[in-house]
Amino acid sequence: MLGDRCRLIFAAAVAAAASSASLTSSIVAGLAVIDEERVRRCLWKLEHDYEGPLPEDEQGEKTQKNDIAFEDITELRMSYESIGEIRNLEGFTSLHTLALDNNCITKIHNLECLPNLVWLDLSFNKIKKIEGLETLAKLEDLSLCNNEIEKIIGLDSCLALNALSLGNNKIKELDQVGLLRKLPKLNVLNLDGNPLCTLDYKNYSIAYLKHLKYLDYSLITSDQVCAFSRAIVWSTTHNMNSHTYRKRRQRTRTKMSW
């Protein structure tokens, strides 16, 4: 059975969420919450490599047999659970892998209790903003594909980030990619399926993100790096020369008018 302390943490957290008037408006009716029963079921399915819903007559019998200590759990996968909000994870202090993909989550928060988290999957949700990751200093792999994100922000504290998936979001501006230069260990990046893909984002990404090794699931070759770097240098020099030429012409016309 779960330890008494862990059970009390879960019960208190769920009760607080249910009774708080300020939270009621943010929880969509009919969506699931992260509670003890759901955690037990997901852990059993992970242990037995079981996919899909458990038959109702077997859920209690199968999941109640295992003794569980929250503080010892390192991996938790709660995909396709219709979860509406990230809550009630306070006891999972050793967790390094968390999958909450294919749910109904709209906001990233309540993760500050997971200081050892290394791998986080929040893909296929309804998230509009990257936030709530400030305390995840050990995070190395983050998937936020298939959400509603427009800006690449909120990652400045994730300096250990190695892989970032932002495919199929609503990122439009090319300069958003340049913000990722603050991540010194970023080797893998996915931006496929965003509106900015109509721009020359691959050249830009490869030239400016020096540590990048994979872009949109494809290996970046040394030849590509050299070619794209030369293209950026040429473009910059061309723009500078054009600007200088325009200024000279303007001065010449001003003198002639006198």
Report pLDDT for 1.
45
**CATH superfamily of this structure's domain 4-257:** Ribonuclease Inhibitor (3.80.10.10)
- Locate 255 and state its tokens: 């003198």
3-state secondary structure of 164: strand
| Strands ordered across the beta sheet of 141-143 | 75-77, 97-99, 119-121, 141-143, 163-165, 188-190, 214-215, 218-219
Number of other CB atoms surrounding residue 90 within 10 Å: 16
This prediction has a pTM of 0.79
Report pLDDT for 54.
72
Q: What is the pLDDT of residues 146-183, one digit of tens each?
A: 999 999 999 999 999 999 999 999 999 999 999 999 99
Sign of torsion over alpha carbons 42, 48, 52, 56: negative
- Locate 14 and state its tokens: 């769920």
* In the chain, domain spans: 4-257
Strand partners, 99: 77, 121
Give the mean pLDDT per block of 10 residues along the chain (258 residues): 53 47 45 90 88 65 66 95 95 96 97 97 98 97 98 96 98 93 96 94 88 93 70 54 54 52
Mean pLDDT for the chain? 82
